[in-house]
Structure 1
Amino acid sequence: MTPRRKLMTKNALAIEYLAKDFISRDIGSKILTISEYEKMIDVARGTIQNAIKQLVDSGAIAVESRGQLGTYLSHKDLKLLLEFRRNFIFGWGNATTIFSNLRRVEYRFINNNGKYA
């Protein structure tokens, strides 16, 4: 574990990990269980639950519980998830570059009638 990671709070570590995980997941896909996240991140269940709640309350994600079938990602706001990642892992310079590139991609997408150039 890096010295920077040692200084991060467990909640910040959980939010960082979950934001990264949700960025990579497709909408409609099943997310891991609290127990699976707990083992991967090595924090308590309550910490994982609080981190997910914070992401949901902020509008970064929405999840849908389907009982025994599991919980599914029903919405994600990529900008907000990247913001959570930036706050906990990126320096300001890197974040500025990422958001600048994201804006360029969005601009090209809009100007090409919804088709990526």
Structure 2
Amino acid sequence: MHFNHPNPQLQIEKSPFYIPKNPKAWSSRIRTAGVSSFGIGGTNCHIIVQSLPDSLVSIKPEQEVDNNFEYSLLLSAATKESLKKLAGDYAPLIKITPANILAHNALQQRQLNLPWRLYPLNK
């Protein structure tokens, strides 16, 4: 992405590495990738990410999940008004979305420590 040619000091042609210039299909085996970030202020980080093996993937998002049990979600917001809006956004989803996906989406908000909280039940 946004790549034209490598820095000659890398001498990448003498290494086992290459920079893909076009999308490349991944094989069916476990996929591994490295992501580097080099900050202007000197903060550098590198992370290696890997896909789960198929044997560890127990529930696929398109599968139906039994919602015939009572569960609660933690919703949290900075103001009473924003909490009402958030609850209104989740209300129609509680009846039609599998519990595991709904919980996952709620956790993705990462707003668990805000002052206004609500624990809606699905029943």
Fold conserved (TM > 0.5)? no
Q: Which has the higher helix share?
A: 1
TM-score, scaled relative to structure 2: 0.23
Q: Which has the higher strand share?
A: 2
